[in-house]
Amino acid sequence: MALNVLRPGTTSLKAPFSHLQFALYCSIRIIEQANNRDGKAYRDALPFLAEHLPLYPDPLCYLAWIMITHEAEIEVEFGMQLRVLGKLVEVLASPITMPLLTGRYSDQELTDFSQQLLTRGLDKTWRIWIYDYAERTNVFKAWELYSEACERDADLDGAEKSLRRIIETQIASAKRAARGRPLSQQDQFRMRGNVNRLFAFYRRTNFPGVEEAFKHYYRLLPELWNRSERSNSYLIGLTSTYLPQPSPQPQQPPSQQLSSPPPGVPSVVWARLYQELMGVQDIQGLNPLCDRLLAAIDLVANAAPRDARDAAEAIKHLLRRVCALQSARLSSGNLALETKELNNALHQSRRAVDSMAELKDMGALVTTLQKVFIAFIESQKIYPVPQLQPDALGGLPLDVSASAVVLGIHNPGPGDISEMRLTCQDGEAILATAPGVISAIPEDTERIITVPVQTTPPATGEAADCTVLMSYHWGILRDLTSEQHVRVEWLNFGEYLAQHGIHEYEFPNPYVFDTALDFSRHDRRLFQGRENELALIRTFFLSGRNSGAPLYFHGIRKVGKTSLLERVRQELLLADILPIRVDLKGIDPQSQSPVQVINSLTEKILTELRTARPELADITPVPPDHGNYLHAAETFFRAVAERLHPTRMVLLLDEFHLLVSHGTKPLLDLIRLVHQRDDAWFIMSGWKRPEIIREACPETELSLQPHAIDFLPMETVARVLREPMANSGIEIPDEAVERVQLQTAGNPYHVAKLAWLSVNRLNAQHRTIITPHDIDELAGLLARDEGNFGASSFSPLILNSDEQRAAMKFSRLLSGEQMVLPIAQAMEAIGSQMLIQLEQKYLIEKCPGGVRLRGKMLTTYLQNRLNAPEGPPLQPTAKSVGIFVDVENIVSMIPSGVSHQDAWKNLLVYAEGFGRVVAHWACADPRNLADPERVRLDLETAGFDVSFPSSEYLAAVRERRKEEADFLLIERISDEQEHTDPDIFIIVAGDRDYYPRISSLLDRGRTIRILADTSGNALANLYRDITEKRRKERFVLGFPETDLFLDDIRDALSPAGASVP
């Protein structure tokens, strides 16, 4: 009985939304309790559920629909099956929360909710919900949206009544407030838009009753037809047919007459043509109107500006071509070409009439042209049908249930297809868990697509016959469908590895992305390219020639400078040359005296030199208290040269910019002298541009040969991806390489990270092919992680705050279709000098048509930042953060030019970037600090709680022990774990003593970020191995990201807004 009462209102889409929910509940209960499946109640409930379950955007409803239609053997058309499966996948990926009907929502919130439902094809759901909401609240925006919903469903009566309800309510309210006085300008403004909307609806739909409505509102609201008020001109044009004609004006002499038509004439002409266009269904019906339509277009074009005239001419040409389409005697090939061009022209015309106010009257014509073109295409079957390769690529694993089918697909044309979605299943062993998606396939090209599936392999291992359902767009034709079959083989992953000489359980992953290459432990094939730089080395050093000025390789962070120095070291070893690579981190001319800088430099050189040549162990560094340190340094270099003779020493100074300041001029001049006298040759690297080096010490006589280290070209990226995996059995198609280049622009850090993640994905799913879909999906994940850009191309060490803002402004100007800005527009937006700076810092590049951001990943990252909410989101609640600092290990890592107090403040700012900081501890043994009271003051001023061992303890234990600070910090972590229990623990450390505590925190579901020096020392390698292992474990378990991160301490200690190039 309840179902019988609820059914009529639900079916007519005018019941309260709660009636739909209750009717679905009643139907489910009827089926659950039915003893007789042939009973009337059961038979009534089944079709009701089959029709209405897809209206409720809940995964359980879609699953119930699939089960009911299958078990009851209800015949459902193929398109409906595809739509419901698509909705299920979309709602699982992005759930919809139905707003409470008792709430009140802004116009924007209502519009956003409507888009959520409409983009998923839930038109009827939206219509029922908005009708219920409008009835409850009488909000004008709700009635307006309900009217639009009715018009989409061809319920023109409901659409008109909704619009008139808004106006009548406004009139009643305004009349009561006016108390007999004329309507105020504010009231007229409020009503004018809704009255315009009503009469535009009459013109658009040819709905009867327009004359009666005009008389009614002309009597009630004569102010809206006052010709002297310019705001009324649109409404006057809409209703000019029914308006009393104004008194004729005296005839002007011919010389004073205007060549353009009087105001309102084009609108009147198009209003009459609209009624006739509504009845046109095919080309035969369009031809009799062709001449009149061409004349009407001229009426509009004559009074329009240049760009609108050009667009109108294009529409005239399009009209003639469509009218001639049926009578043209074209071969099949020429007909396909003609329809492809017409499809594109119709798309362009639609964009023109939608964007140019002067052409708005032609909207009905373009709509009609689209309608007759679609009818012609469907009758001739000319549209493209993509063709699948008969066999899936790579097969599906026998031992992993969650994997993916890899399909090859070809678009034979005519024209490009877009928004392709594929699902596949065989009814028993294979079921798609999400659609495979390709944004576009150009004509006569092949693409590879990945469809995620869940499998239950047969015991026999017999190949599966899989049904693939495709939907796609072709220009203005939407949601074309095709069903095809492919053969899917089953893969024994272990046997496949053994066939390729791999005697482990998965593909070895050779890629390295968060440290410089070390050829003693990394695959040498990971280094590719840089031929020009290596040619310089061969030209000068391997031929025994001095390079004149030292070479200086410069580029942004993580672009491969240190790896290049390592490769140069390998090259120099081929000759009678001793290359010594020296990492200058830790040298700080801002806090060290010149003699201390020279002492540190010579100590670092000797440390590496003694490893290569133990016989030089008796040479000593320049003492830190030497009275004539420059002479001592000169003697040091001369002594090393004499002991090595005839072997030449080449010093490879990494992070050279750390050595440059006003106070180091004597040392820089000495380097120049040593290089010129051939006592030692120098090759430098750093992330500061040479002009910035010069500005840091303009007095020095040392000059450099600068060489910028740029991103990798695509042919080099292909070698980076393929050569380390040669003979492994992993396939990397050209299309996947192209996607890597598109996403990364050849940034070596991102290329390596994508490659590493891709191999991990293959291992998790037991697949053998890296697909474009893998690359795009993983790149999307990386673009959402701040660390992937904050540590490289968007690092505050590279970009100052003005440059960051300019990059954000540039990205704001980009749209989904426009990824390239004309140079003039870019210069106007951010200035020519800033454009040059961003190009120098690898953020933008010139390309055909203008300039663009370097890589889709960077574009996505910046646009995600633009779309991020300005304030903290209400849901989910911001995560809590605790930061714990081992001060003794960190002091030496503070960058030059940054005060200690500012460095501690920067650490807290870094922590605040991850959430609400609830704990902030810094620990140290004061006996290990040069000025402990100063350190405490700086830390407390910055905002840290400071913990030193008690004075009693220090008095009892006089021996200095490094681990005292470790014990203190572990104690503070344990205390906060019991009290504030942060979601994220940031441990700023420099040793391995914290790993047991880190392991227990991970077991409790906490996220850990370790801040340390990520250069290639043993500790960094230990933590890197641990984080990589944890990342792989999480990946295999199905988590989208890891919970253990290793970040570079230098990023956190540097000021985010510092003007550091």
In eight-state DSSP terms, residue 330 is -
Torsion of CA 238, 242, 246, 248, to 10 degrees: 100
Q: What is the mean pLDDT of residues 724-743?
A: 94
Q: What tokens appear for 481 in the block?
A: 């469908």
- Is pLDDT of 970 > 90? no
Confidence grade of residue 51 (pLDDT, cut at 50, 70, 90): low
Question: What integer pLDDT is reported at residue 81 of this predicted model?
Answer: 55
Q: Which fold has domain 789-867?
A: Arc Repressor Mutant, subunit A (1.10.10)
- Is pLDDT of 488 > 50? yes
Q: What tokens appear for 517 in the block?
A: 């290459």
Q: What's the CA gap between 1051 and 51, in Å, rounded?
A: 57
CA-CA distances (angstroms) from residue 771 to 451, 724, 1060? Answer: 11, 17, 39
Question: What integer pLDDT is reported at residue 264 of this predicted model?
Answer: 42
Q: Give the residue, 749 or 896, on which the prediction is more confident.
A: 749
Phi, psi of 937 (to 5 degrees): -60, -45
Confidence grade of residue 48 (pLDDT, cut at 50, 70, 90): low
- Is pLDDT of 58 > 70? no
DSSP 473-528: EETTEEEEEEEEEEEE-EE-HHHHHHHTT--SSS-------SS---TTTS-GGG--
pLDDT tens digit sequence for 744-758: 999 999 999 999 999
Confidence grade of residue 1017 (pLDDT, cut at 50, 70, 90): low
pLDDT tens digit sequence for 897-908: 678 888 888 888
Question: What integer pLDDT is reported at residue 1060 of this predicted model?
Answer: 29
pLDDT tens digit sequence for 107-130: 778 887 887 777 767 777 788 888
- Is pLDDT of 671 > 90? yes
Q: Give the residue, 406 or 1050, on which the prediction is more confident.
A: 406
Q: What tokens appear for 728 in the block?
A: 């492994």
Q: What tokens appear for 438 in the block?
A: 């390709």
- Is pLDDT of 536 > 50? yes
Sequence-separated (6 or more) residues with CB below 8 Å from residue 202 = 160, 209, 210, 213, 238
Question: What integer pLDDT is reported at residue 478 of this predicted model?
Answer: 82
Question: What integer pLDDT is reported at residue 789 of this predicted model?
Answer: 81
pLDDT tens digit sequence for 557-614: 889 999 999 999 999 998 889 999 999 887 888 878 899 999 999 999 999 999 999 9
Q: What is the mean pLDDT of residues 925-948?
A: 84
Question: What integer pLDDT is reported at residue 15 of this predicted model?
Answer: 46
DSSP 622-662: PPTT-TTHHHHHHHHHHHHHHHHTTSEEEEEEETGGGG-SG
Q: Do the Cβ atoms of 647 and 578 come closer than 8 Å?
A: yes
Cα torsion angle, 711, 715, 718, 724, sign: negative
In eight-state DSSP terms, residue 1006 is -
- Is pLDDT of 498 > 80? yes
Other CB atoms within 10 A of residue 927 CB: 16
pLDDT tens digit sequence for 861-883: 888 887 654 443 333 346 889 99
Q: What share of the chain is helix, strand, coil (3-state, %, to 5)?
A: 55, 15, 35
Confidence grade of residue 490 (pLDDT, cut at 50, 70, 90): very high
- The helix/strand/coil state of 249 is coil
Q: What is the mean pLDDT of residues 336-359?
A: 86
Q: What is the mean pLDDT of residues 477-482?
A: 85
- Poorest-pLDDT segment among 72-76, 383-387, 763-767, 843-847: 72-76
- Is pLDDT of 9 > 50? no
- Is pLDDT of 691 > 70? yes
Q: What percent of the chain has pLDDT over 90?
A: 28
Q: What is the mean pLDDT of residues 469-495?
A: 90
- Give the start-to-end residue ranges of the domains of the chain: 10-19+47-238, 263-380, 387-491, 530-708, 789-867, 880-1053
Q: Give the residue, 244 or 265, on which the prediction is more confident.
A: 244
CA neighbor of 144 nearest in space, from 189, 185, 186, 201: 201
Q: What is the mean pLDDT of residues 1001-1016?
A: 79
pLDDT tens digit sequence for 621-658: 999 888 899 999 999 999 999 999 999 999 999 999 98
Q: What's the CA gap between 582 and 658, in Å, rounded?
A: 12
Question: What integer pLDDT is reported at residue 266 of this predicted model?
Answer: 52
Question: What integer pLDDT is reported at residue 735 of this predicted model?
Answer: 94
Confidence grade of residue 461 (pLDDT, cut at 50, 70, 90): confident
Per CATH, domain 880-1053 is 3.20.20.150: no
The CATH superfamily of 387-491 is Immunoglobulins (2.60.40.10)
Architecture of domain 530-708: 3-Layer(aba) Sandwich (3.40)
Mean pLDDT of the chain: 81
- Poorest-pLDDT segment among 27-41, 338-352, 936-950, 956-970: 27-41
Q: What's the CA gap between 578 and 377, in Å, rounded?
A: 74
- Is pLDDT of 2 > 70? no
Q: What's the CA gap between 388 and 407, in Å, rounded?
A: 7
Question: What integer pLDDT is reported at residue 1039 of this predicted model?
Answer: 64
Instruction: Check if 530-708 and 880-1053 are the same fold.
Output: yes
DSSP bridge pairs for 445: 411
DSSP 762-808: HHHHT--B--HHHHHHHHHHHHT-THHHHTTTT-TTT--HHHHHHHH
Contacts made by residues 60-65, CB under 8 angstroms, sequence distance 24+? 61/24, 62/87, 62/88, 62/91, 63/88, 64/28
